[in-house]
Amino acid sequence: MLFELLKKRRSIRKFQGKSVEVEKLETILRAGLISPSGKNKKPWKFVVVDDGIKLDKLSKAKPAGGQLVKGAPVAVVVLGEAEKSDTWLEDCSIALTFMQLEAEEQGLKSCWVQIDKRPSEDGRGADVIVKEILGIEGDLKVLAILAMGYPEEERPFYTEDDMDFSKVHYNTYGTSYKIK
Ligand SMILES: Cc1cc2nc3c(=O)[nH]c(=O)nc-3n(C[C@H](O)[C@H](O)[C@H](O)COP(=O)(O)O)c2cc1C
């Protein structure tokens, strides 16, 4: 069952105007909140954004690759508490992925929009811009924005052809894994 969900998950960048039901959004947030983390420190904060003006501003936080946020009815900005854990990046990435998969399970589509390490047009960094938009002061990291909603475009499901088994090695690196 999970594998079927994984195969149909694709990044979607065009959304219908329809808003996301609160129950669905809250299930997605719950999925993030129970994701695993190093030493169970849960070094994350999530900011739910459904304010159109803020979504518009967030979509311009970096010069390219973020425009889709503007067209999404809702987004979750994933923030990391680096001072709390040296695995914040891994933990927050897993939390975001859990939310992305739960969004899929809820019949929604989504796209990860990277903010960490991305520049902004004015050279201050996309994270600085996002923090300004959301009123964040202090040391929080900004990993990414998970934009989601009902899809306005379709993308093909993954098939066997997309699974590159040459990336899998067996016992010794360089020894290919024989597919059964
Ligand atoms: C770490 C990470 C950062 C990403 N950043 C962006 C982004 O800034 N903008 C965007 O449109 N897609 C972004 N994506 C989505 C990828 O482009 C997408 O996952 C990839 O092309 C594979 O397509 P799929 O998600 O449909 O399998 C990101 C994905 C990951 C995992």
Q: What's the domain count of the chain?
A: 1
As averages over each run of 10 residues, the pLDDT of the chain (180 residues) reads 97 98 98 98 98 98 98 98 98 99 98 98 98 97 99 98 98 95
**Cα separation, 68 vs 49, whole angstroms:** 14
Domain that residue 83 falls in: 2-176
Q: What ligand 1 atom has the least distance to the C-alpha of 158?
A: 27
| Protein residue whose Cα sits closest to atom 22 of ligand 1 | 11
User: 9-30, pLDDT tens digit by residue?
Assistant: 999 999 999 999 999 999 999 9
CA of 135 to the centre of ligand 1 (A): 26
- CATH classification of the domain holding 81: 3.40.109.10
pTM listed for this prediction: 0.98
Give the pLDDT of residue 180: 84
**Cα separation, 69 vs 108, whole angstroms:** 15
- Residue 155 CB coordination number (10 Å): 13
- Show the tokens assigned to 173: 């690196």
| Protein residue whose Cα sits closest to atom 11 of ligand 1 | 65
Radius of gyration in angstroms for the set of CA atoms belonging to the chain, rounded to a whole number: 18
* Among candidate residues 57, 79, 78, 74, the one with its CA nearest the CA of residue 66: 57
**Cα separation, 60 vs 70, whole angstroms:** 9
Pocket of ligand 1 (CB under 6 A): 10-11, 13, 65-66, 68, 111-114
Give the pLDDT of residue 26: 98
